[in-house]
Amino acid sequence: MLEQIRWAEGQNCYHCGYFKSYATKSAGVYRCAEPESRKDFTVTMRTVMERTKAPLNKWLMGFFMMCSSKKGVSAHQLHRSLGLPYQTAWFMAHHIRHAMSVGGLTMPTAPEPMGGAGKFVEADEPYFGKVEQVKPSAQRNLSFQVRSH
């Protein structure tokens, strides 16, 4: 299913963009047919699911749970529902949220600079350095009073 979604026009190599490839002996691994490239790639390459040991069906169920819930799904709920270790569920939830915020499965190559490429960022009244005099709050200056009931 994931191959049909990502490769609607056909399998393309993520290294060189060549559209001819063939399957290798490993399940789900394809090799580029371009003589200069000949690199292996999978359907999860350059996605939030790249280099994870969690099965793809668990990822797809995690995507479904996160997208169909009104208030979101916690990592603990993914852990309980999918039968994954908590650390894996946390990692999965973090990456799914990232994919939802970016708007796709693919991971961005580099973060965009603050304000946008070639734009200026303005900040008002920045202060760098140590505060000259510590100013405790008014609540801390009150002396402790014991009340008798």
Q: Is the domain of 53 the same as that of 41? A: no
Q: Is position 140 within any domain?
A: no
Q: Is position 144 within any domain?
A: no
Q: Is position 120 within any domain?
A: no
Task: Give residue 147's Cα distance to chain centre.
Answer: 54
Q: What is the Cα–Cα distance from 95 to 26, expressed in whole angstroms?
A: 26
Per the structure, the complete domain to which residue 16 belongs is given by: 1-45
**For 51-82, b where at least 16 C-beta lie within 10 A, e where not — what string?**
ebebeeebbebbbebbeeeeeebebeebbeeb
Beta strand extents in the chain (DSSP E only): 21-23, 30-32, 40-41
* Of the ranges 32-36, 87-91, 110-114, the best mean pLDDT one: 87-91
21-70: per-residue pLDDT in tens? 778 888 888 888 877 877 887 888 878 888 888 888 999 999 999 989 88
Q: Measured at the alpha carbon of residue 28, what is the angle toward residues 58 and 90, in degrees to the nearest 5? A: 25
Q: Is position 138 within any domain?
A: no
pTM surpassing 0.95? no
The total of structural domains in the chain comes to 2
Q: Is the domain of 89 the same as that of 53? A: yes
Q: Is the domain of 35 the same as that of 67? A: no
Q: Is position 127 within any domain?
A: no
Q: Is position 134 within any domain?
A: no
Q: What is the Cα–Cα distance from 92 to 49, expressed in whole angstroms?
A: 8
Q: Is the domain of 27 the same as that of 63? A: no
Q: Is the domain of 38 the same as that of 59? A: no
Q: Is position 76 within any domain?
A: yes
- Of 102, 117, 134, the residue that ends a domain is 102
Amino acid 94 reads: H
pLDDT score of 141 more than 60:
no
